[in-house]
Structures are given as structure tokens and as C-alpha cells.
Structure 1
Amino acid sequence: MLVTTATRRIATPPGAPGAEVQGWLNDTWVPNWRSFQYFVLYRLLLGSLALLALLFPGDWNLRLNMMPSLLTFSLVGAHLVCTAGGLALARFWQQHFNFQLSFQVIVDIVVLAALMLIAGGVSSGFGLILLISLAAASLVGQGRLVLLYAALATLAALVSQTLGVFLLDFEQSGLVQAGFISAGYFATAILARLLGQRVMVNEDLARRRGIALNNQIRINQRVVERMQDGVLIVTRDGEIVRHNPMAMRLLGLPPSGGNLAVHAPTLGAALTHWLAGSSNDSVLLSGVGNAELGARFESTASSDGEVLVFIEDVGRIKEQAKQLKLAALGRLTASIAHEIRNPLSAISHASELLREERRGDLYERLLRIIGDNTARLDRIVGDVLELGRQKQAQVEVISLREFLGNFAVDLLSNENLPPTTIALDLPAGLVICFDRSHLHQVLWNLVGNALRHSTRGSAAVRVQAISAAGQGWVELHVIDDGPGVPPELRDQVFEPFFTTHTLGTGLGLFIARELCVANGGALTLKADAGGGHFIVSGRSDSCPLPVASDARAAS
């Protein structure tokens, strides 16, 4: 389209018509060389047809009264040369737009006015050809120049017709026709310019809206990519149209997509059930590594009826809720620990003083109950405060045979058990990258629990070290000969404040797992084991950077 478009960001034009709109258009107008090239190409085609009419005269060009002569050949040839030169300039030298456009329009006016004089005036039809060129130039040009072109065309038409009347015996009625055509020049120029302005405004509005839409699409795409939840767009047949990286990681999807029934059968079956009219918009499923996931379906207003599927990491949400709970509890206990421990100390001291009087067995039993519960309360407060007091792990390379040998002696001495109660299977040379105090606390909790649930006979508890060859990991297996963890409780043993022991706080295993994570390792419970079987994993080839646990960060 032969229009001029703005190429820079501009304000929306005022709603009121008139000088303000015209000023806005003049301020925002910039040349459109492509449209100008189309205009010059049209004129080159028109000049070529005129040359053919001169070279091959016949009945088809009698209406124009354009007979071959030296003058007509000269005019048409000059027009072709100027037009071809203008096309080359518009293509390779895009400067001085108004000058190039004005020059081409003036060439048209001069040549067509001369041909109109030669061909018999306005009745020859050249006036209408000039009208078309003027309309095209008005679409391309700027406001005031358009009126100048119309004025020049009017002047040329009137002068040509007047000279024809006085010099070539044209009919005087042709002056009236020239006047009407002149009025048409102005009307066409103004209407074409208004149309060009309207198209320019609409194109600029469409351009700015396109830029805004593209920016919004980019922002939305980045938001979806960075979401902690997975997002899928699937067809009603289960074909994955698009998914974000989190969905690919949670469900193990290939980058190219695929079908839900193939890559996530549970989710595909849930989608089919939902499309069939199920009122349940969400479903629980397992993802990569048996991660607990939740899927939620949402219909869209697209013409293809695509479905949005949101995948949530339920395990992460539970972990966040747990850490928030611990953070709140840590702040609470930190604020009241002093008020709790002072009365506990007073109660404990008072019970010790009363114990010295020795008034009988019943008296001793009551004092023992007071002492045991006082110690339990003090241990609960200490364990809760430990969640916020854990320091950053100072990881070092620890020889397992030496460390566990000393550890077993200390623990058995504290429990008054024979040395054969704990069996150590520690190959020589095995090391682990761990904070020494953290490892001692983890094993004290695990081995202490194992002793409590074991038979306390010979080799009732076994501590075995296994190296993962070629992977840089070492595993410490703590195994007891007790009844083990019931299947229905295995998902809860690492939950804070969960305990099956009457004197337990329910924080030992949770703190142990947090310490393992802080040292770049892990603590897991082996499923389907005959007795209790916990596994501590840690690096053995290179010490990892310390990892701050969420519990400590939250506290």
C-alpha cells in the first residue's frame, strides 16, 4: 500500500480533528521509501506503455490523439529517463525524500501537460492520467506538499488548455472542463491525503500494539519458564502442545513434547476422566524419582479446546510448610526458653534437695518422676533450640575407621553395654567429607535409636561403610535387629515432633537429616528391611560446599 508509516514510538493523537491532529501527523511523519519505489515503478510502467503506443500506433490509442512525432518521442523518452533515474535513486540513495518525490511529480505534471496540449486538451484523457499520479503522490507525500502538487497540476492544466484555445483553436468549452478537472485535482489530493493519514494512524497503532503484544508474550514466556510449578498445554487427545522446563523436570517429559498417555500415563488417564465430566479438577501422581505431585486442570477459551495442566510439587509445598512451622516454633522457643529453663532449673534443684531427706520408697519414686520429666522438658527445649543454633558446616575429610571406633567406645560406655553390642564393618582407607561434630550428632541419634529398638545382644547393631566405586560417594548403614519401622510409619519418621517413644521429642531424626543435607549428603530409610536400616550418604572424593538448611535460614 502506498502509505507513509512512522517508525518510532509516538503518543496517541488527540481525539479532536483539526490543527492538533495535523500537527501530530506532521511531527510523526517519516518517509516510506518502499511506497515511493512502488509509486515510481507505476510511473515507469505508465511511461513504457506510452512508448509502446508511439512505436506501435493503432486503433487502441486513437482516443489519446497521441501520434508519433519527434516531440512526443522526446517527451515520453525524457519521462522514462527521469523515472528510471528516480527509481534508481529511491533504491540506492535514500535521502532528501521530499525533493525526490517533488521532482518526480513535477516531471509528470510537465510531461502530461505537454502531451495534453499536443493531443487536443483535456478531452484527450491525459488529465485523468495526471489525476491518478497526483492521487498516488498524495498518499506518499506530506500534507502541505500535497496541496502544492495539486496547485501545480491545476496551473499546468489551465495553462495547457488556455494555450490550446488561443494557439491551436481548441474549443473554449474545454476551459470549463479544465476547471472541473482542476477542482478534481484538489479534491483527490485532499481525500487521498486524509486517507493516507488515516492509514498511517492505524498502521502506527497496529505497530505499537504489535510491539506491546510481543513484549507481553516475552514477559509471559519468561514468567512461565521461571515458575516453580509445571505448566502444560495439551489437546483434548492428550498431545502436549507446549510445556515449561519445570514440567519437563517434574514429569520427565522430552523437550519435543509427545502424548501424556505415553510419558505420564496417570496424568493422561486423569485428563481423560476430567474431560469425560469428572468434577474432580485435581489429582495426585508420582513424578521423577517418585516425587509427590499434584495436577490441576483448567479449560481454555481457545478454538481448539486446549487444556491447561498445572503440575505442583506437593513434596516441596509440604517441606516449605514444615520449614515455616519450624521457623515459627524456633522464634517462639527462643523468646520463652529463658522463662522455661529457669523454672525447670529451680524444680530440678528443689528435687535434688528433697532427695537428700530420704523419706521412703514412695517419696523416692515421686522425686524420680519429677526428675525424669524435668530432664525430658529440658531436652525438648534443647532440641527445639538446636534447630536455630546449627552453625554452618565446617566440612573436613574424616577417616571412618578411626572416627567410628572412638564413637562406638563412647556410646557403649555411656549406655553401659558390652563392646560386642555394636559390630563395625569399616574397610580401611574409607573417608567421608563431613563436619565432625555434625557426624557425631547424626550417628549418636541413629545408633542410639538402633540400640533402643534392638535386642542389645551381640552384634545387635551393625554399622557398615560401603563405597560407591567411581561415583565419589560413601554410605554408612546403621542396622539393628529390632522389629524395624512399620510400613505405615515410614513416611513420617523424618517429620518433626513425630515419635513412638514416650520420652522422645520427635526431633532427633529430623535434625539428623537436616545436618546431612547441610553437609551435602542425605539420610534415608531403606524400605523393606528386616529391622531398622538407616543410610547416611556423603561425598568421599571432594568436600562439597556447605549447604545452609532451610530450617536454619528460616530461623
Structure 2
Amino acid sequence: MSAAASIAIERSRLVSLHFLNLFRLVLAGLFVVAGEELGLGSEMPAVFRVVAYGYVASALVLGFREVAGYLGESRAIALQAVIDVAALSLMMWASGGYGSGLPVLMMVMLAGVGLVAEGRMVLFFAALATIAVLIENAWRLAVGDQPVDFLKVGIFCTGFFGIALIARLLASRAQANASLAAERGEALAKQQAVNERIIRDMQDGVIVADAKGRVLQSNPQAAVLLGMTASAAGSLEGLQLLDVDPVFDELMCGRHPDGRLLRIGPGGRLMRCRVVYGEQQGAEGGGFLIYLTDFEDIQRGLQQTKLAALGRLTASMAHEIRNPLSAVTQAAELLRDEKRGEMQGRLVRIINDNAHRIERMIRDVLALGRREQALPEALPLAQFAAEVIEARAFSDPAERDLYAIEIEPSLSFAIDRAHLHQILDNLLANARRYCSGKPAAVRLHAVALAGERVALHVRDDGPGLDEATRLHLFEPFFTTHAKGTGLGLYIARELAEANDATLELAANGPGADFVLEGRQKP
């Protein structure tokens, strides 16, 4: 048993003992003041008065905690129980026997003792009361002044043991419940302390507010992230969120429950704010929980990652440029010495092809550098896709029949115009390269999704992609085309992410199916 459980049981016993002493004192006072009026002490008034006054004195003396501390709690309880049995037995003898009703008071006293006594002592007190009642009735039978009904006496004596046992069982159950409650309370207190420590030390800010926006609780990190002074950390309690920053009005109204990036607080720090609303949102008793995540630290980490990736990209690019540059140099050397016109034309084509390859590679890398300049706008998908196809088919009108557009005119896509043009042009070029060449070999169709989102599919009827190719498809400089740079799909995905969109390859099927998913409105 834990220390907390022992303390709880001891406190429960002290409370029960206090009320038992109070009842004993009230009962003794009643005997002194109104005992004779109640018909008690009718046979021996003097003995009754002496016992009543003695009972009052014992109740007063043993009721003090100092006496219980001096004698010991168990001894004090035992002494009180013996005095109760003795006093009530003498009063019963002076009042005409069991007919006075005093055995019923013995049962009450035994029930009270059963709540505070320990172990088998309760049975000892019940046996003591039984012996006292039997002796008193045996004396009356021996004297012969009145008949004795031993059936009623036996019922009283049986009741002593029954009351004592029931009281003890109830006390044991109450102690067990108190012990269990104390142990669970102790475990809950430890868990609460751990939770408070975790919330206090966590890097995210946590704010608990009521339905009116008044802060009920917060951790110190919330005040730090909002730009409060270090001494004011933890002082958000009681403040109105709108007084801290009016931007909290958007969060309180439930317009962005899934979280969004906001510059919030006096410090103007960029944070991701996520709100968890109570069940009674908007009601008087409702409230919400706000999590604040420092996004500037995340951005710094992402920037470091991007710089590292840019370093690898630069190294890979230098390696990739070396091959066509070597071909250009070698072709130029041969061209200087070559006299035949046919061979000169071939060398010139080699120079032009590799020069164009280097130019495409540099153009793609420059496009990657412009990904942060995205200016999203709601572009009509069907119309924009038709314009991109018209631009591709300008030099060869017959190519227009390769593409089939199945997009509802009402669907739009929130994205930068130049970025969408480059993404679509790359996807269409890949689809054109691997399709069968039949009419409608490349299909463009769009599907409206939940949450005002849209998915644009670009599917061809080519042979599709094997599993090994799918694993590396979006990696830089990975290509299956002899004249490709390997940057097209990598740049396309980067531009999509710059516009809060995604570019993925759908499940393998007949041909390749690229899915561009994003919002319909900026």
C-alpha cells in the first residue's frame, strides 16, 4: 500500500472516530439531562446518575486527540468500546433490563466501533456486550423479581455479532475504496506532472482558450513564439487573443482548422497555426486549442537541405555538361580538317544537337531557380490545355489530332501561368514521345476533388513504365531518352510544389498516367 493510500485510510478513520466521539458525547449528555424523563434509572436512580455522569466524563476526556495520541489510537478505541459496553450495561441494570431499549443503543455503538476498530477486536467487543447482557439477565433470573425472555435476549446477542461484522465489512470495503482512490489519485498526479513538464518543454506553443477568445492556459513557448518578453512567458492567461493579434479572428472563426502559415504576434514570426475546436464550438461553453509551430526554423532547415541538394545538382550538372561539350569540341576539331561536304554537314549537326542539349539543361536549371516566384491565379484548365497543344502543333498541324481534351469548362487550376505551361509542355512531350501515334493517343482529363481541389491527368497509350524506372522517375538527370537532359520531370515536380500542388505517376496501367493535383482557387 502506498503512502498516499495509508494517509487516506488514516484520515477516513479519524473522521469516523471524530463523529463517533461526538455521538457518544451527545448520548451521554442526553442521559444526564433527560434520562429520568425517558424512564431510565427507574429501579436505581442513584446508580443511573453516577454512571451517566461518569459516561459524560469519559466521553469528554477520551474525545481529546492528545489523549488518543498518548494512549495510542487502537488502545483509545478499545477503552472507549469497553466503557460503552460497561456504561450501557449498568444503565440497563438500573433501568429494568433489556425492556429499557438500551441494548439497541449497544448495537449502534458496536456499529460505530466496527467502523474504526481493526481486525478481530470488533468480535471481542460484540462478545463483551453479549456477556454483559447475559449476566444482567441471569442476575434477574436468580433474584426472581421478574421473568426473563431469553428468546429476545438471544436475538439481541445475535444482533450484536451481526451488526459488528457488517460494520467491519463495510469499513474494510470503504478502506479498500479509499486506498484505490488514493493510489489512482497519486498515479494521476504523477501523470499530470509528466504532461505538464512535456507541454512546458515542448518546442511548439500551446494555447487553450474559451469560446470568446480568452486564454485559459498556455505554455511558456507560446509566449516566446508570439514575441512576448521572456519575463512575460506564461503570462498569456487571462488575455484576449484579439488583443495579442487580430489575425487570431480567422482561427477563432474556424476558417483554417487544418492549419495555415501566418505571421502572428507582436514578433511577426512566421508560424503554422493549427486549431482543434471543442464539441460546442461557438456555444457559450465551447473553446479551442491552438498549436503554434515555428515555421521559420523549419524554413531554415529546408533552406539548408536545398543548398545541399543544389550543391549535388551543380556537381551532377557539371558532369552532364562535360559529355556534350566534349562532343562539340571534338566535332569542331574534325570540322576544321574535314574537306568533304557530307562529313562537314554531319559534324555541324553534332555541334548543333549538343549545343541545344546544353541550352535546354541551362534553361531547366534557370526555371528551377525561378520556382520561388510563383504567382498563382485561377486558370481555366480546358482553355489553357488547348492553348498549350496549339503552341506545340503550330509547326505541324497534324500533331493536333494526337491529343484529346476531356475537361469540363468550369474547372480551373490555381497555379502560376508560366509554371503550368512548362509542366504541361513537359508532360505532353513525354507522352508524345512514347505514345502509339494514333489519333487521341494522348488524353487530358480532369476530375474535381473534395475541398475545392482538382486533379489533371495526362495519359498516353504507350508501353508504360517498369518498376525500376518508376522508382527513379523524378530524380534529376535520370532519363530513358538518349537526347534527354533528365531534368524535365524533376523541374515539373518542383514547379508544382512551388504552387502548393503535387505531381505524381498514377498506378501502372496501359501507358503512363501523370496526375497534377492542386487547388481550384488561389
- Gap regions ≥5 residues in structure 2: 330-335, 338-350, 363-522
CA–CA separation in structure 1 for the residues paired with 2:243 and 2:310:
45
- 1:209 paired to 2:184: yes
> Does the aligned pair in 1 maintain the 2:277–2:289 contact within 8 Å?
yes
> Does the aligned pair in 1 maintain the 2:43–2:96 contact within 8 Å?
no
CA–CA separation in structure 2 for the residues paired with 1:66 and 1:252:
89
CA–CA separation in structure 2 for the residues paired with 1:305 and 1:311:
20
- 1:191 paired to 2:166: yes
- 1:310 paired to 2:310: no
3-state SS, counterpart of residue 281 of structure 1: coil
- 1:165-180 matched pairs, under 5 angstroms: 165-167=141-143, 169-173=145-149, 175-180=150-155
3-state SS, counterpart of residue 309 of structure 1: strand
> Does the aligned pair in 2 maintain the 1:44–1:80 contact within 8 Å?
yes
- 1:229 paired to 2:210: no
Write the deviation string for residues 128-155 of structure 1: whole angstroms up to 9, x where unpaired.
1111111000011113111111111111
What is the RMSD of the two structures over their aligned residues, measured on CA atoms? 4.1
Partner of 2:218: 243
Write the deviation string for residues 95-118 of structure 1: whole angstroms up to 9, x where unpaired.
632222111101111111111111
Q: 1:195 deviation in Å?
A: 0.9
> Does the aligned pair in 1 maintain the 2:227–2:267 contact within 8 Å?
no
- 1:373-452 matched pairs, under 5 angstroms: none
- 1:134 paired to 2:110: yes
- 1:275-424 matched pairs, under 5 angstroms: 278=255, 280-287=257-264, 288-301=266-279, 304-324=285-305
Q: How many equivalent pairs are there?
A: 333
- Gap regions ≥5 residues in structure 1: 1-5, 11-24, 353-358, 361-365, 378-555
- 1:122 paired to 2:98: yes
Write the deviation string for residues 455-482 of structure 1: whole angstroms up to 9, x where unpaired.
xxxxxxxxxxxxxxxxxxxxxxxxxxxx
3-state SS, counterpart of residue 212 of structure 2: coil
CA–CA separation in structure 1 for the residues paired with 2:54 and 2:268:
83
- 1:96 paired to 2:60: no
Partner of 1:145: 121
TM-score by length of 2: 0.54
Partner of 2:87: 111
CA–CA separation in structure 1 for the residues paired with 2:159 and 2:309:
84
3-state SS, counterpart of residue 297 of structure 1: strand
3-state SS, counterpart of residue 257 of structure 1: coil
Q: Which moved more, 1:159-168 or 1:235-244?
A: 159-168
3-state SS, counterpart of residue 249 of structure 1: helix
Q: 1:281 deviation in Å?
A: 3.0
CA–CA separation in structure 2 for the residues paired with 1:318 and 1:95:
73
* AA aligned opposite 2:84: D
CA–CA separation in structure 2 for the residues paired with 1:194 and 1:73:
36
Partner of 1:81: 57
* AA aligned opposite 1:82: S
3-state SS, counterpart of residue 247 of structure 2: helix
Partner of 1:503: none
CA–CA separation in structure 2 for the residues paired with 1:7 and 1:164:
53
Partner of 2:249: 268
Which residue of 127, 133, 151 maps to 1:157? 133
Structure 1 pair 301/117, CA: closer, same or farther in 2 (3 Å)? Answer: farther
CA–CA separation in structure 1 for the residues paired with 2:26 and 2:248:
64
Q: Which moved more, 1:127-136 or 1:260-269?
A: 260-269
Q: 1:237 deviation in Å?
A: 1.7
- 1:383-532 matched pairs, under 5 angstroms: none
> Does the aligned pair in 1 maintain the 2:40–2:94 contact within 8 Å?
no
Q: 1:290 deviation in Å?
A: 2.2
Q: 1:280 deviation in Å?
A: 4.8
